[in-house]
Structure 1
C-alpha cells in the first residue's frame, strides 16, 4: 500500500470520528432515532475500514 492509500484510510477514519462526535450530540437534541440510524451507518463504515486495514496488514506481511 502506498502513501496515497494510507491517506485515504486516515481520511475515512476522520470522517467516522466526526460522525461519532455528531451522533453524541443527538440525545441532547431529542433525536434518538436519528442517532440510532447514524450509529448503524458508522458501524458499517468502521467494518469496511477494518477490512481495508486487514488487507493492508496482509499485504505488508506478505512483502516481508
Structure 2
C-alpha cells in the first residue's frame, strides 16, 4: 500500500511524529510528503494511525 498527502495538508507534522519512516516535512512548502514506495508491512499500522489522526484529512491511501 502507498499513502499520498494531498493539498489540504496544514503542515501540523502529526503524521511525521506518528510515522517518520513514511512521512516527512518538505522544507520548501512547509507541508508533509509521503515516501513514494510501497509501505513495508511493519509500518502499515503506524501509517494508518497517521492517516486516521490527520486533522485535515489530507492523507489518502492509494
Q: Structure 1 length as normaliser, TM-score?
A: 0.34
Bigger CA radius of gyration:
1
Which structure has the higher relative contact order (CA within 8 Å, separation 6+)? Answer: 2
Higher normalized strand content (fraction of residues) = 2
Higher normalized helix content (fraction of residues) = 1
